[in-house]
Structures are given as structure tokens and as C-alpha cells.
Amino acid sequence: MTKRKILIFGATGYLGRYMVQASLTLGHPTYAYTRPLNQSGGIGRDAKFETLQDFKARGVSIVEGELDDREKLVGILRQVDIVISALPVPQYLDQLKIINVVKEESHIERFIPSEFGNEADRSTALPPFQAILDKKKKIRRAIEAAGIPYTYVSANSLAKYFIHYFLFQGENCDKEVTIYGSGETKAVWNYEEDIAMYTIRAAIDSRTLNKTLICRPLRNIASQLDIITSWEKKAGKTLNKIHILEENVIRLIETLLLEMSIPMAILHSIFIRGDQLCFELKQDDLEASTLYADYRYTSIDELLDITLVNPPEVKIASFV
């Protein structure tokens, strides 16, 4: 496999760490562009410091800078071949700053923007989540208008994250589980480690140039009830199932503050409307597990086994 110098924005974030791991595993010289440590505070600063120390020990080149620091961006971009953004939702439009610099560096072979969720160009959602999809589309159109070589990665649901969200949230998580809608709608659950590996491989693959990679492995298509039933069998317990009907979810979306309505709109899109499977794959679509059939991805059933042995030690935050 040809080695490329890979720069990752948002490298210390939730998905960014998996991207760094995948890049290192595949032997690519890896760079991380991160906000100066003194811009973080409290517990977040300590965790970030530990992550950066781990990166350095593993040979990652760290560059501290702001996205507004054009000179620093130019300096690091001239050292690398591939640019991957794993910036979080609140910073999606900040990628325009990266694009404005990347478009002037003609040697950049590929730019992969931060998406890693529903396919923005082929699905719709209720307004709070649609606003996020619209930001993704705005970034896509800016990349295309600038003539930057790209690959978009439609990763669907981050499986480890959502398993933890459904099965380990709340004081009574060992006794009950919340189900949105009927619980029968199918979604696509992909292990974060696999998403990162697919992304790094796609970044240097000529077949994915200026195309969208869709992560839809057959073994990872499952409903909430599929996941919960499988978990009950593995854990040897029966959970009390609390259903929130679709009309109640919509009511919450319409009445909650924006920061709380967005997660509900995402849950509605994925687990009630089934937006991740709202379109059929065409012959010219690039599906990750088919394109990289030599890579053994982790099935959702296997991930549940992993979670059973190593349950999360802390509750996770909201996904936006």
C-alpha cells in the first residue's frame, strides 16, 4: 500500500482518535492539527493533554493552531498529501476556512470533510437535523466549486456510540431501555474503528476519487429491537422496554430548546423514519464492505460481545 502523509483535523475528538489509530495502523506518516492546549480547560484539557502525549509517543506530528491561522495552515498543508476532517458538528462550517487554504495547494491529493453519518445528498430530516445536513451539503458544494479532489464518507450510525446511548444511559440502564417509535425500523450500525479504516483506505484509493463511499455492510443492518433482543440474550437479562411514540418524539422536537431538539431529530431520522436505508444502492455506488472485501469489519453482533466484556465506564454525552 502506498504511504501518504495524512493530516487530521479534530484528531483528539471522539471519531478523530479512531482516524489517527487507523492511519498509524496502515503505516502512514500522521499529522494532527489541534487547537492550542491552553484553549481547553478543566477536565477536557487534561484528557486532551493525555491524548496528545499518547499521539506523540506513537510518532504523530502535532501542530497546534487555530483554523483562522492561515500561515500555520499553509505551513502544515505543504507537508502533507491527504487532509481528513473529523471536526464536530458545531464546527462543520469552520471547514470553509480549511477549504480556502486547501484549494490553493494543488498538491493535495484528497480532502475528506467531516460527515460520517447519514448521506446528506440523498436523505432529508426534520428541521433541527436537516439544518446539519444542509451544512454538510454546503461544505460539499464548496469543495466541488473549489476543484479540490475529494471523497465523501457516508458512515451511517456510529455503532459503539449508539449502543452505549441506548443500553447504558440513565440510572436504571441495567433494568430498562428507551425505544423510539416501534423499534422495528432498520438502521446501519458501523463500528467506529471500521469507519476509520474505510476512510483511510478510501483516502488513497483512485476508485473513490470525487465519489461517495457508503458504509452499508449487510451484517450491520439492524433495528433497535434487534439490538436490544440480542443484548438481552448475551447479558442474560430482560429489560423493561419504554416506547416513546413517534408523535411524542415530534412534539419534543418542536418544543425543546435547540440543543435538545437536535438529538431527538437525529433519533427520529435514523430510528423511526429509517433515513439511512431510504434509498437503494445503485450499480455505480461504492459500498465500503464490498469495495474492501479483504477487510474483516466488526459485525454489530460481535460489537455487542465486545461491549459485554468491556462495558463503558462512563456515560457518554449527547451526540451533537
Q: What is the pLDDT of residues 62-72, one digit of tens each?
A: 999 999 999 99
Catalytic positions, written as ranges: 136
pLDDT at position 94 is: 98
- Architecture per CATH, domain 6-156+191-216+280-295, reads as 3-Layer(aba) Sandwich (3.40)
**This prediction's pTM:** 0.95
CA 164 – CA 168 distance, rounded (Å): 5
Q: Which three cell numbers mark 4?
A: 501518504
**According to DSSP H, which parts of 34-94 are helical?**
42-57, 70-77
Q: What is the pLDDT of residues 8-18, one digit of tens each?
A: 999 999 999 99
Q: What is the pLDDT of residues 149-166, one digit of tens each?
A: 999 999 999 999 999 999
206 three-state secondary structure: helix
CA 36 – CA 284 distance, rounded (Å): 43
- What are residue 150's DSSP bridge partners? 111
C-alpha torsion angle, residues 121, 124, 126, 132 (rounded to 10): -10
> Which of these, 84, 93, 86, lies nearest to 135 by C-alpha position?
93
- Who's near 318: CB < 8 A, 6+ residues apart? 259, 263
> How many other C-beta atoms are found inside a 10 Å radius of the C-beta of residue 169?
13
Sole residue written with cell 433494568: 175
pLDDT at position 47 is: 87
79: DSSP letter: T
Helix (H) or strand (E) holding 254: helix 246-255
> Which of these, 187, 194, 170, 160, lies nearest to 319 by C-alpha position?
160
**pLDDT tens digits in sequence order for the chain, 320 residues long:** 689 999 999 999 999 999 999 999 999 999 999 999 876 555 467 889 999 999 999 999 999 999 999 999 999 999 999 999 999 999 999 999 999 999 999 999 999 999 999 999 999 999 999 999 999 999 999 999 999 999 999 999 999 999 999 999 888 999 999 999 999 999 999 999 999 999 999 999 999 999 999 999 999 999 999 999 999 999 999 999 999 999 999 999 999 999 999 999 999 999 999 999 999 999 999 999 999 999 999 999 999 999 999 998 755 656 56
Would you mind telling me the total number of residues written for the chain in this entry? 320
What are the domain boundaries of the chain? 6-156+191-216+280-295
> Which of these, 177, 284, 268, lies nearest to 229 by C-alpha position?
177
pLDDT at position 41 is: 54
